[in-house]
Amino acid sequence: MKLAVCILTFIVTIGIAHAAGKKPASIQWKPYDCSSPLMLPEHEFDVSQFGKGKYRIDGEKSEGHFNCIYIVFQSTNSLAPASAPDAHESWFIVKGQKVTWRTYKTTVEGRSVIRKEALMPNILPHQKQGNDSDFIWLRIDADSQEILDRLTPDAEGVIQDAAEPGGAANGSELIRSQANSTSIGKEQPIARWCQLLSFPTVPSVPNPLDRPRPSRTTR
């Protein structure tokens, strides 16, 4: 029992540290794209805007257009190419809605990369002005699967935090994607750790002292 309590205390401490490990980005969304704060992991990341509705999040492995997270607000509900025959699909949840990633190998500017992208309706809080921000295109062009696996939960977390400020960080949404089901989500460590560290049920052993005593017969 003491071991279980110690482990639970350790898990809660990790959860608080993860929830607090966010910072407001130096550049924020435009209100017509999203009116919630743009929050980033506390270390290694920064953001830039390279056009209307176009944001890029850079990390320690970023090199120009590569190994970074693109978040583009757009009016069209389409991707180019429209289909990728060898693409692998995975998904994550935002405000109860399923968002589908597609992942495939391609060449960008003569460089072989693994592209992971998703298109979703703009369900983030925003001050609607026309239809320029009706959809959100998420994209990562990574040099390796390892880099892609590191950036994917961060991309998902940025969108989930924006969709429900304070919600995803407090465990209301599962941040890990369906494809990474064996990894621990960054923004819901408590629930996931409890799932992974569930203890087998030990059948209770009756205490012999609790057995009823035989009644005495008076003569």
Whether 67 shows a pLDDT value over 70: the answer reads yes
**In order of start, what are the domains of the chain with their CATH numbers?**
2-190 (3.40.1000)
* 192: confidence class by pLDDT, cuts 50, 70, 90: very low
The model's pLDDT over 102-156, given as tens digits with 9 standing for 90+, comes to 999 999 999 999 999 999 999 999 999 999 999 999 999 999 999 999 999 999 9
Mean pLDDT of 170-197: 42
Mean pLDDT of 15-26: 67
Lowest-pLDDT range of 16-25, 150-159, 200-209:
200-209
Quick one: 156 exposed, middle or buried, by C-beta within 10 A (0-12, 13-18, 19+)? Answer: buried
Q: Which residue has the higher pLDDT, 182 or 87?
A: 87
* 42: confidence class by pLDDT, cuts 50, 70, 90: confident
* 165: confidence class by pLDDT, cuts 50, 70, 90: confident
Mean pLDDT of 17-39: 86
Contact present, 176 and 92 (Cβ < 8 Å): yes
Mean pLDDT of 181-209: 43
Q: Which residue has the higher pLDDT, 146 or 176?
A: 146
Three-state secondary structure string covering 101-126: EEEEEEEECCEEEEEEEEEEECCCCC
Mean pLDDT of the chain: 78
Side-chain half-sphere CA neighbours of 204 within 13 A: 3
